[in-house]
Amino acid sequence: MYFESEVFVLPKVKYQMYHNNKFYASLGNKIIVREKDNSQWNDYIIIEKLSLINYFELYNRLLRHGIHNFYKIDEYIDCIIIKANILFYNNKELVNVLKLENGSRPLRNGIVYKSDHIIYSEYYGNKDRQPVNIYKYNFIEDKREIIYTFNNIRHIHFIQEDIKDHDRLYIGTGDLDNECGFYIFNLQKKK
């Protein structure tokens, strides 16, 4: 149990998302939750792959460790991104782990989530400008497919879903001059 007004709490709560009148945040090796009208935080999920060292932000920052992102997919399914892994929980029990091949994570706005799959790209240095893929990963069937490949870019900065047309994605690329772009992608047409 944690209260925001407690002065002696050293680790900083990292807000992750707001869903159904609840705030979700990360703190060290856990996801914590609180009601909108309450300042008391409660443990939600403890991530066994992390440890007490993950309470130190400098350690997490230098080594790209800790909890990068949290997504509440529905009332039962949660998605947590830690270094080189995307963890899927059902009723707070770990049910699936997707190991990333390149880099430590997608960026904060680098995942679009649906009821049975996510769409993501891996964020990494890519100094040789290898092709960069956008993936669709079905976390229920543990099945991954490439839905688009970019050439001559460094990496993907964001993937966002259109709020009205859920088959339309907005994708931002980078980093230098002609590598920087804003693309509209249609999931049905895969272009």
Q: Where are the domains of the chain?
A: 1-72, 101-191
Which residues are CB-neighbours of 116 under 8 A, at least 6 positions away? Answer: 138, 139, 140, 141
Q: Is the pTM of this model over 0.85?
A: yes
Summarised one tens digit per residue, pLDDT across range 93-147 is 999 999 999 888 887 788 999 999 999 998 888 999 999 999 999 999 999 999 9
- Work out the number of other CB atoms within 10 angstroms of the CB of residue 73: 19
Contact 87, 120 (CB under 8 A): no
Summarised one tens digit per residue, pLDDT across range 9-22 is 446 889 999 999 99
